Amino acid sequence: MRASSSNPWRRFAVFAAVIILVAAAFWAASRMTSRRLSSRAAGGTRSRAVDVSSFRPSFEFGGGIVFQSDLAGDNDIYLLTAAGLRRLTDDPASDEFPKWSPDGRSVSFSSNRTGRFQIYVMAADGSSLRQITRSEADAIEPGWFPDGRRLAFTEERRRGIGRSFVLKEIGLDGGEARVLLPDFEGSSALPEFSSSAPLLAFTGKRLRGWDVYAADLTTKAARPLTEGGMACRPHFSPDGSKIAYTSSEADGKGDIWIMNPDGSGRERLTERPDTYDYFASWSPDGRSVVFSSGTEHYPTRGVWSLFIVRVASRRVVPLFKSGGRDVFPDWR
């Protein structure tokens, strides 16, 4: 009797263990989000001394490209120009996702130097650092409003074993952040603004998978520009006439595509079946797109380098390789 009465408890223990394993697997899968590229915890990796003056781009180009790299051990923000490389941040924390301000005088980025990720702004030379957000959740992936006086960002929220993402906006003077698209049902991330229209592009998910969405900033109405859950990370051309983005629909890995702001006229720019091509950003003249590429899935491992694709010819040329993970380029 004792043996038979203990069987239900044993079955319950086995069932509970299975549930825990399934939940753990679901949690791991849920981390394939707009932020799956990030990050070590603050202080998790020590920075090492690196002479950045020895780094040069493969060829001369106009303007400057800010990007994130772990070439010195932890994630910091760097500036690449035709003259060479400059390190803009040097902190044991993870500094990520830099974005130029519209006037080119400032750079925003996210960092977990105070514990949670928050949004920071610094001058283009790395000076005058100031913290903008003081969120109770992780504030990541900033984007500038065209007026240069406000920032949008992704707030990452934990929900049980999963995560959700919502776009918020905040002034440069700080204060309280507000939800940017209150009527959008689903997760929204990675804000990108048009310079020529009251239009916001972002990465969104309503049911399964991520797609590129556009929202009218006047009405706050959003609609998908892609379908199928295999597209993300839109970036407007300087004149607002095109959007560059990443899609895995062709090769299952990731290529750089372009389309019109209404979702029409989709064209594939890169066809590289052995690599993952992500994080597109337009050149100031709108003729080229810089992107990051690696052979490992997402830049949490392996080497990722910067490449340029010429829009007219589809020609891809290597731009910069540090030997680390060079990601999130933003060109102006």
- Condensed to tens digits (0 to 9), the pLDDT of residues 163-214 reads 899 999 999 998 899 999 999 999 999 999 999 999 999 999 998 899 999 9
Kindly report the average pLDDT of the chain as a whole number.
88
For residue 162, the Cα-to-chain-centroid distance in whole angstroms is 19
Confidence of residue 45 (pLDDT cuts 50, 70, 90): low
Residue 161, pLDDT score: 77
Higher pLDDT among residues 123 and 10, named by residue: 123
Topology adopted by domain 31-331: Neuraminidase (2.120.10)
Q: What is the pLDDT of residue 174?
A: 87
Confidence of residue 28 (pLDDT cuts 50, 70, 90): very low
Residue 298's pLDDT is what? Answer: 67
Q: Is 238 exposed, middle or buried (0-12, 13-18, 19+ CB in 10 A)?
A: middle
Query: What was the pLDDT predicted at 18?
Result: 41
Residue 98 near residue 67 (C-beta atoms within 8 A):
yes
Beta strands of 160-299 (E only): which ranges? 162-171, 174-179, 187-193, 199-205, 211-216, 222-224, 231-236, 243-247, 255-259, 267-268, 276-282, 288-294
- On the question of pLDDT at 82 being above 80, the answer is yes
**pLDDT category of residue 299 using cuts at 50, 70 and 90:** low
Task: Say which amino acid occupies 91.
Answer: D
Q: pLDDT category, 32, cuts 50, 70, 90?
A: very low
Backbone angles phi, psi at 25, to 5 degrees: -65, -40
| Residue 40 DSSP one-character state | P
Strand partners, 305: 293
Is this structure's pTM higher than 0.85?
A: yes
Instruction: State residue 46's pLDDT score.
Output: 59
